[in-house]
A and B are shown apart, each in its own frame.
Chain A
Amino acid sequence: MAAPQPESKIIELKPFTDEMIVSMGPQHPSTHGVLRLELKLDGEVVRDAIPHIGYLHRCFEKHSENLNYQQIIPFTDRMDYIAAMNMNWGFCLAVEQLMAKEEGKFPGVPERGEYLRILIGELNRIGSHLLSFGTYGMDIGAFTPFLYAFRDREKILLLFEKICGARLTYNYIRVGGVSRDTPPGFMDEVKEFIDYFEPQIDVYNSLLTANRIFIERTANVAVMDAEMAINYGITGPNLRGAGLQWDLRKDETYSIYDRFDFDVPVGRDIPELGVVSGDCWNRYKVRMDEMKESVRIIRQILESGLPDGPVQAELKAVRPPKGEIFSRSEAPRGELGFYIVSDGTPKPVRVKAKSPCFTALSALQELSRGLMVADIIAIIGSIDIVMGEVDR
């Protein structure tokens, strides 16, 4: 005969209220797009958070099979619309590597084109991190940083408008280079912006990063250690926030990043603030530090000046040989991968995009278990997802 249950256990179970299922989103202002979270709540405590995605699905991969390579580039703009330059770059890099498999098919990107790509890519990285910083503050409850971030992001958008003619969907980076050369006086304006922007990072830090209320909301919340991050396949600032130094620009250099001197910021423990590596605060702080590194890279370009020459290689046709490629590049939100299968015609047989936001979102369920509802907002903001890229 089994021993009777000790009474204390039954008493422990009694305070449990009924589990309640609440839909957060898809129109929630702090889900960064159309994300629906199915929250299983026990009072205020989240027992489970199941993300439902697909509200922004536009059939990018299937649609690409009916377009030729040049026509796909404007559709990559619409994946991560906040860092569209880096999306263009990732796709063009994949096509270029596929074309280079056949001897003499791809002559290589001209020097000036490579410099312009890095300049534009790093400016877009700053713009993307600015938006992430501004909206994170607003999610947490600080409205002012949002206005500051958007005021300065506007300056970057004006530069992009001058060089490529669009503010959001650039379609600037092409297979073999970039589409347009710089307009007169562009580099002076970049210098003007960088001179203005570098001290602004410290202003942001005193506005939000060092704010005690902000630290209390984010420090030691949803700790994702390096092992968990690797198991989920998480990349970019989220992985570096966990304390792991991994950046494709440094570790698997593409383009001409090996010529530039920059550091890879990582998250770290700060006991006096109560901050642990891999928590929301560190994931946020890595982005703030990365903006400084991007400024450093752009400064080096400004010092050396753009080399003369063409901006785009002269290609007879964008027609990669038969074969397949998986290429990855470091977008602001992590490693962006493109898998392309070609049968030698101007249209690809298969295009697959490996999106960094999708993997980051997959960790949300484990991160949010046992936390409060208000912490879910802090997590979504800190992993910095763009639903256009998750759903594609």
Chain B
Amino acid sequence: MRHYLSNIYLGVYTALVGMRITFKQLLKPSVTHQYPYDRPFEQKKNVRDIPKGYRGKLHNRIEDCIGCKKCEMICPVDCITITTQKLPKGERLWDSMNVVHLKDRTEIIGNIEGDEKPAPNTTVTINTQDNGAVTVSSEEIANVVERKPVIFYLDQFDIDMSLCMYCGLCTEVCPTECLIMFDNLGDGIEYSTFDRTDLIYEFAKPEMYEKPGDESMEAEAAD
């Protein structure tokens, strides 16, 4: 009988100890967000933005793509399909360039003056595409990638995002770093569709390779 009563007392007492903790929470601001209606990302009120480097939707900056098919090979679920054609010998769409990745995860595209692998504690001048020169300290540079000249036509570069498992292996092997994963809200996460076929993204742009006055290409397109 005594045990029974003490059990009731302890049950109520320890429940009240827990209640005290929940009562404190009552006075604090709510942490819940009603997501699609209350969008914490845009309000930026006591909440975060999506961090840099988030693995969202895949995107290919097709102008930089050299058609090496490394991403197609590494993909564990085979969601990338690439078909290519080789350019005639000696022809190239642009010359070799450098992509300089800085430590704050921004990048500069252009030609590095002098040595490609800058020595520590020096300043590096990069001639960008719009003929401007940017000077950065070599301490800021995280990585320098060569942007190779295109020798393949890309007939097809399809990514099926309904198959993608967001492992990010393809973006790591990409030699020109043109295959990226969006880390912003609109492009990276919110892209649901009503039709599954809308999730197959086609990046190849055959018109990109057409040069003005290239009759053979225009004739092919007309067919």
Contact = CB atoms under 8 A, between A and B. Distances in A.
Contact of A171 (B31, B51, B53, B168): B168
A313 to B, nearest CB: 15
A229 to B, nearest CB: 29
Nearest to B171: A165
A151 interface: yes
A201 to B, nearest CB: 13
A213 B51 contact: no
B166 interface: yes
B166 to A, nearest CB: 6
A74 B167 contact: yes
B169 A212 contact: no
Contacts of B181: 165
A165 B168 contact: yes
Interface residues of A, number: 32
Given A71-B76, A75-B76, A166-B166, A206 B51 contact: no
A207 interface: yes
B167 A206 contact: no
Nearest to A171: B167
Interface of B: 7, 10-11, 13-15, 17-18, 21-22, 31, 48, 50-55, 74, 76, 103-105, 165-169, 172, 181, 183
DSSP class of A's interface residues: helix, strand, loop or mixed?
Answer: helix
Given A166-B166, A169-B166, A74 B14 contact: no
Contacts, number: 76
DSSP class of B's interface residues: helix, strand, loop or mixed?
Answer: loop
B76 A67 contact: yes
Given A74-B76, A171-B168, A210-B17, A165 B183 contact: yes
A158 B14 contact: no
A169 B167 CA distance: 8
A176 to B, nearest CB: 13
B15 A165 contact: no
B55 A165 contact: yes
A71 B53 contact: no
